């Protein structure tokens, strides 16, 4: 199995601005409500296996997964990859996100 792919915020912003990637926030709804990357899809870690197919129908889309510190994002990346998503990248924690 290949190692986890990480992406840094600068690269992520370029992909998001170009519309070629989807930010996936795996925090809880209250965390999401307090601030998130614009356009991000909320997919709490506990519901990844149940809801990913409905929220993220394109298994070949570039997914940039993040949480608060990076730990949940890492778990979610593994789950999404196991489910057949082919372009999953760990953006890490939103605490280190330098953009508004």
Selecting among 43, 48, 65, 67, the annotated active-site residue is 67
Q: Going along 35-77, which residue ranges are E strands? A: 41-42, 62-67
Instruction: State how far the Cα of 74 lies from the Cα of 89, in Å rounded to an integer.
Output: 9
Whether residue 67 lies in the annotated active site:
yes
Catalytic residues: 67
């Amino acid at each position: 199995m290949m190692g986890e792919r990480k992406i840094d915020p600068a690269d992520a912003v370029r992909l998001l601005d170009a519309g070629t990637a989807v930010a996936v926030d795996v925090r809880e709804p209250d965390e999401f409500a307090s601030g998130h990357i614009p356009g991000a899809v909320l997919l709490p870690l506990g519901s990844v296996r149940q809801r990913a197919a409905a929220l993220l129908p394109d298994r070949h889309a570039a997914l940039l997964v993040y949480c608060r510190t990076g730990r949940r994002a890492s778990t979610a990346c593994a789950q999404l990859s196991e489910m057949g998503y082919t372009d999953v990248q760990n953006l890490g924690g939103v605490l280190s996100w330098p953009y508004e």
